[in-house]
Structure 1
Amino acid sequence: MARPQQPSLPRMTPVSCSHKTSICTWEVPGGGHASVEEGHQAYLSSAPHYDFPRYRQLVHEITLAFSGISREILQIKGRLQEQHGRPELAQHLARVQQKEQEKLELTAQLQLAKQNAQDQPGLEAHQQEVRELKHKLIKTIEAISEILQDLKYDSEEAE
């Protein structure tokens, strides 16, 4: 008996963080998170014979991309403190990094909860966990947006 066609996991393109000026105007392309969600959806749709090796490779590529971004942010924070005398901007970046770490952990928890809910659809506890984690994720994203607004306001204040 032939196995059904597996959905293909998206190919990660490298994500980078760049700054446009020596003071803090930087952006991270938005495709990274969409690729995580697309990859996880493809993984879930491969049930009951999950294609874990391909999903693990996607997670590895995402981890490498975020690690590179983190190193760049650390460099930017150092320049803000040492070269530009703007420790408050460096502190905003530290808070964003902490919240992004929290977001990444919540995303991993949510993905596991979604798989549990799919594998055991009769257990309401799994559905409740998915709802709770989605709520926490939304709150974390809102906190990141607030920090970025503070960063923007404080960086424009110096100009």
Structure 2
Amino acid sequence: MARGIDYGNLMHQAMRGLIREVLTGIAENGLPGEHHFFITLNTRNPGVQMADWLQARYPDEITIVIQHWFENLSVDEQGFAITLNFGNQPEPLYIPYDAITTFVDPSVEFGLKFETHADDEDEDDEFEDEEAPMMHSEPEPQKAGEVVSLDKFRK
């Protein structure tokens, strides 16, 4: 019997789909206007592929910037590949969507934040990496500093 509607997981999927759609457009047409992205990711995620020296330097988390110089942006259903410049050295990366902890486009004051929460009902190790998404969004520039958190609406 189903436990109910898993709104957290559904929101998680929708937010990752938004990131996929945005990156697909950038791969096809480049970055429009002043748009640029700060993407923070969990480097411990088993799907993350990066150079050993980068993994050693950022063993837990890294924030990448997609702005002036990037190459080979390729988007698939699970994540995206991109080559970025680290200290004048181009490095290829593969980032699964579920490794992303924040996605921010400061040019339009938009951001998504994914926070992990321990599942109170299920102590099984199989579920320890599940994420419950939190959406922080500032889509209207005139509302500077307003952050929307789904926790506000939870009972």
Which category of TM-score, normalised to the shorter sequence, fits these structures?
under 0.3
Larger radius of gyration: 1
Structure having the higher helix fraction is: 1
TM-score (norm 1): 0.27
Structure having the higher strand fraction is: 2
